[in-house]
A and B are shown apart, each in its own frame.
Chain A
Amino acid sequence: MKETRMSRRMVAAGLPLIVLGTPAILRAQTRGLLQVTVEGASANPVPIAVTDFVGDPVGVQISQVISADLERSGLFRPIDRGAFIERITDPGKAPRFQDWRAINADALVVGSATQQADGRLRVEFRLWDVAAGSQMTGRAFFTQSANWRRIAHIVADEIFKRITGEDGFFDTRVVYVAETGPGNARVKRLAIMDQDGANHRYLTDGRALALTPRFSPTLQEVVYMSYAQGVPRVFLMNVDTARQELLGNFPNMTFAPRFSPDGNRVVMSLATDGNSEIYAMDVRSRSISRLTNHPAIDTSPSYSPDGGRIVFTSDRGGSQQIYVMGAGGGDGQRISFGQGRYSTPVWSPRGDYIAFTKQEGGSFSIGIMRPDGSGERILASSYLDEGPTWAPNGRYLMFFRQAPNAGGRAGAVRLYMVDTTGRVLRPVPTPTDASDPAWSPLIPQ
Chain B
Amino acid sequence: MRLNIRILGAVAALLLAAACSSTPGPEGATASVAPGTPGHFQQVAGDRVYFETDQSDLRPDARATLDKQAAWLKQYGDRYQQYVIEGHADERGTREYNLALGERRANSVRTYLVTQGIATGKLRTISYGKERPEVVGSDEGAWSRNRRAVTVLQ
Q: Which residues of A contact B (CB under 8 A)?
A: 182-186, 188, 209, 211-212, 225, 230-232, 252-253, 255-256, 269, 271, 273-276, 295-297, 299-300, 313, 315-316, 318-320, 343-344, 357, 359, 383-384, 386-387, 402, 404-406, 408-411, 435-436
Contact = CB atoms under 8 A, between A and B. Distances in A.
Given A274-B110, A275-B107, A387-B95, 13 more contacts: A212-B95, A225-B99, A256-B96, A269-B96, A271-B103, A295-B3, A296-B3, A299-B99, A299-B100, A320-B97, A344-B94, A387-B94, A435-B95
Given A231-B126, A232-B126, A274-B106, A269 B100 contact: yes
Nearest to B125: A274
A301 to B, nearest CB: 10
B117 interface: no
A183 B3 CA distance: 33
B97 A253 contact: no
A274 B107 contact: yes
Given A271-B127, A274-B106, A359-B93, A184 B100 contact: no
Contacts of B106: 274
Nearest to A185: B132
13 contacts: A184-B136, A252-B125, A253-B99, A253-B127, A256-B96, A269-B96, A274-B103, A295-B3, A297-B104, A313-B97, A319-B54, A320-B97, A343-B94
B94 A409 contact: no
Interface string B38-52: 000000000000000
Nearest to B105: A274
Contacts of B91: 384, 402, 405
5 A-B pairs with least C-beta separation: A274-B107, A183-B136, A404-B138, A276-B100, A256-B96
Contacts of A359: 92-93
Contacts of A319: 54
A89 B137 CA distance: 59
Contacts of B118: none
Contacts of A276: 100, 103-104
Interface bin, chain B: 20 to 34
Nearest to B109: A274
B151 interface: no
A184 B96 contact: no
A253 B126 contact: yes
Contacts of B136: 182-184, 405, 408-410
A184 B106 CA distance: 19
Contact of B95 (A252, A297, A386): A386
A274 B51 CA distance: 15
A228 to B, nearest CB: 13
Contacts of B142: 405
Given A183-B133, A184-B133, A184-B136, A255 B99 contact: yes
A182 B110 CA distance: 29
A357 B94 contact: yes
B61 interface: no
Q: Which of A271, A319, A406 has the most CB of B within 10 A?
A: A271
A406 B136 CA distance: 8
Nearest to A294: B3
B144 to A, nearest CB: 14
A273 B91 CA distance: 23
Interface in B102-145: 103-108, 110-111, 125-127, 131-138, 142
B100 A271 contact: yes
B56 to A, nearest CB: 7
Contacts of B107: 273-275
B126 A406 contact: no
A225 B128 CA distance: 12
A299 B2 contact: no
Interface string B70-97: 0000000000000000000001111111
Nearest to B92: A359
B58 interface: no
